[in-house]
Structure 1
Amino acid sequence: MESICILGSINMDLVLRVNRMVQPGETILSKDYKKIFGGKGANQAVAARRLGANVNFIGQVGRDENGYEILEALKKDNIDVNYIRHSDNSPTGMAIITVDDEGRNSIVVVPGANMDISKQWIREREDIISESRMLISQFETPLEATIEAFRVAKEKGVITVLNPAPAKEIPDGLLKLTDIIIPNETEAFELTNTKVDDEKSIKEAASKFMEKGVKFVIITLGERGAALVSKDKFNIIPAYKVKAIDTTAAGDSFIGALASKLQNEENIDFEQIEKAIKFANKVSSIVVQRQGAQPSLPYLEEVEAIYGEE
């Protein structure tokens, strides 16, 4: 089986349940508090692995209780952690997540050890990138490390997937190395200054990425589904209608599910990505009906039990 390599963040999530979001200068009481394994990179890795993908992970944690706990959890999910190291300088990353009664969330991330990943560390891991079918990264680790990893990947013919979250200015050099970019509608607006609310605006936003060298643009649209755009094709794949109670990790589960469907495809084209998005929409519809990041991520058997085998 081909493998997926994920360069990304590893966090301990502190999840607070509230009736409504707090306003500036206001104090409210939380209804519940939990410590849950998270981080965009780790979430995407666990999502892909539970859906049948073979996953290797490049990342960093601190030499603290949170870091050791998370590594043990990743091992239990059968994710290769041999390329995760312990930082001597920073604690394990952390995210403070507030979830209200409508299932909406707000997230503040403390990067910690995630930001200690260096270009040199990537160079020492070139073998695992080169042997992979696909490389996925986000923006919760240093930008220079992602650029270096994508450079190695393109030299070896590895498919590159960029999840530009949290949104920040993307160097043209990184977009040139990116095969598939997957922002949500908010990130697409921040990165292109185009509000994606109809076919015309979605195509306009996507064209700004493709002009820089990206081959496929997937913009996730929440309850509307996901838009897929290439140079000459466009489609919106609708979401499954469910009652959301917590949207944490919905986007990460989508990316992990997409990758799990594409990892063994010889030549990835528009139709194959379209099919993978349909599956990813199924997975994210399950995730938003559950609480927490990694605890909400389903196994392939659960997806098939709910939606049937494809």
Structure 2
Amino acid sequence: MSIVVFGSINMDLTAYVPKLPQPGETLQGSSYITVPGGKGNNQAVAACRLGAPTKFVGRVGTDGFGEEVLKIVGEQKVDLSQVMKDPEHGTGIAVICVDKNAENTIIIISGANFALDDSDVARASKVMTDAKVLMLQLEVPLDACLKAAKAAKEKGVQVVWDPAPAVPLPDEAFKLMDFITPNETETEILVGFKPENAEDASRAAKLFLAKGVGTAIIKLGARGVYYENEKESGFVPPYKVTPIDTVAAGDAFNAGLAVAISEGKPLAEAVHWGAAAGAIATTRKGALPAMPHRDELMQLMKEQA
């Protein structure tokens, strides 16, 4: 069964700096890389690398960045037949700073990503026929995401929604989510407090469930992952790796989770897949290059079982 990803595709310019800059400060960086990114794209590439046939629905501009992104992502065997070349909007870009502690700041210029509309939803709906999971984020218009989620529900496709970058969401959005996967910051924006531990995460999860979410999965970064639904709950401790760049780790998590779900794995195992995928992503620079492959995910989970 395939995975459909409805979302953003960017060109990322990532600068590596000794510390994150303050307002008005000029820093001497050590290096930079230019690679494809965007939450939707990252999740699609990761899902494909982890073994799921993956179809991506989105937009790029008709500029050089768009051509380059499609060439590189196409080499990852993601199905790009539903990516539209938008003549009126440029390809989205992200300007990223990563410090020596692997923390980051990101500026996004959405471009064609924020032009997604009903025509894109229609393309997504068309390719959901044999899909098991629809993956959503919030780097494209919320209205388009809501309509894509409704189409998924009508077709019996499970919705894995990464509410990032977080914005207040209407009540109807939560009712469309089979899985919500916020990190600490996104959880704070959505429920009003920042979870610092599993107990806090459980309190947040219950608020999501009360809003109609099927399963709430709270990502606590280096502190692990908490999950809960009406039938079960649990905590997955972090996998032990040496992080150098946390960019797109959340995207890798969502892909690991979605692939496991698409294969019918139990929830606890699916969360382990997500946690392992996210951990692997922190050990490499950049967004797309950091996305994990299935063999290394299996190896990490075996080593740290």
TM-score band w.r.t. shorter chain: over 0.9
SS at match of 1:282: helix
SS at match of 1:133: strand
- In the alignment, the residues of structure 2 paired with residue 199 and residue 301 of structure 1 have an alpha-carbon distance, to the nearest angstrom, of 30
The equivalent position to 1:276 in structure 2, one of 264, 270, 273, is 270
Shift of 1:157: 0.8
Shift of 1:25: 1.6
- In the alignment, the residues of structure 1 paired with residue 207 and residue 70 of structure 2 have an alpha-carbon distance, to the nearest angstrom, of 38
For structure 1, the residue ranges without an aligned partner over 5 or more in a row are none
Residues 169-193 of structure 1, C-alpha deviations (whole Å, 9 max, x = no match): 1111111111100000110011100
Counterpart of 2:181, as a letter, is I
Shift of 1:75: 1.4
Shift of 1:31: 1.3
Shift of 1:308: 3.8
Partner of 1:49: 48
Partner of 2:280: 286
CA contact (8 A) 2:249 2:278 kept: yes
Residues 180-226 of structure 1, C-alpha deviations (whole Å, 9 max, x = no match): 00000110011100221234322221122211211100011111111
Residue 297 (1) aligns with residue 291 (2):
yes
SS at match of 1:21: coil
Shift of 1:120: 3.0
Shift of 1:232: 4.5
CA contact (8 A) 1:10 1:93 kept: yes
Kindly report which structure 2 residues correspond to 1:25-44, keeping only aligned pairs within 5 A, or say none: 25-44=24-43
CA contact (8 A) 1:95 1:109 kept: yes
- In the alignment, the residues of structure 1 paired with residue 138 and residue 235 of structure 2 have an alpha-carbon distance, to the nearest angstrom, of 25
Shift of 1:131: 2.8
Shift of 1:305: 4.2
Residues 122-172 of structure 1, C-alpha deviations (whole Å, 9 max, x = no match): 124422123311101100001111011011111111101110000001111
Partner of 1:3: 2
- In the alignment, the residues of structure 2 paired with residue 147 and residue 276 of structure 1 have an alpha-carbon distance, to the nearest angstrom, of 24
Shift of 1:284: 1.8
Residue 149 (1) aligns with residue 176 (2):
no
CA contact (8 A) 1:130 1:152 kept: no
For structure 2, the residue ranges without an aligned partner over 5 or more in a row are none
Q: What TM-score, normalized by structure 2, do the two folds share?
A: 0.96
- In the alignment, the residues of structure 2 paired with residue 292 and residue 129 of structure 1 have an alpha-carbon distance, to the nearest angstrom, of 30
Partner of 2:107: 108
CA contact (8 A) 1:169 1:191 kept: yes
Counterpart of 1:289, as a letter, is T
Shift of 1:307: 4.4
Counterpart of 1:277, as a letter, is V
Counterpart of 2:270, as a letter, is A
Residues 239-264 of structure 1, C-alpha deviations (whole Å, 9 max, x = no match): 11222110011110011111111112
Residue 140 (1) aligns with residue 139 (2):
yes
Tell me the percent identity: 38
Say which is worse superposed, 46-55 or 274-283, in terms of deviation. 274-283
- In the alignment, the residues of structure 1 paired with residue 194 and residue 136 of structure 2 have an alpha-carbon distance, to the nearest angstrom, of 24
Counterpart of 1:8, as a letter, is G
SS at match of 1:13: strand
- In the alignment, the residues of structure 2 paired with residue 206 and residue 306 of structure 1 have an alpha-carbon distance, to the nearest angstrom, of 27
- In the alignment, the residues of structure 1 paired with residue 194 and residue 302 of structure 2 have an alpha-carbon distance, to the nearest angstrom, of 35
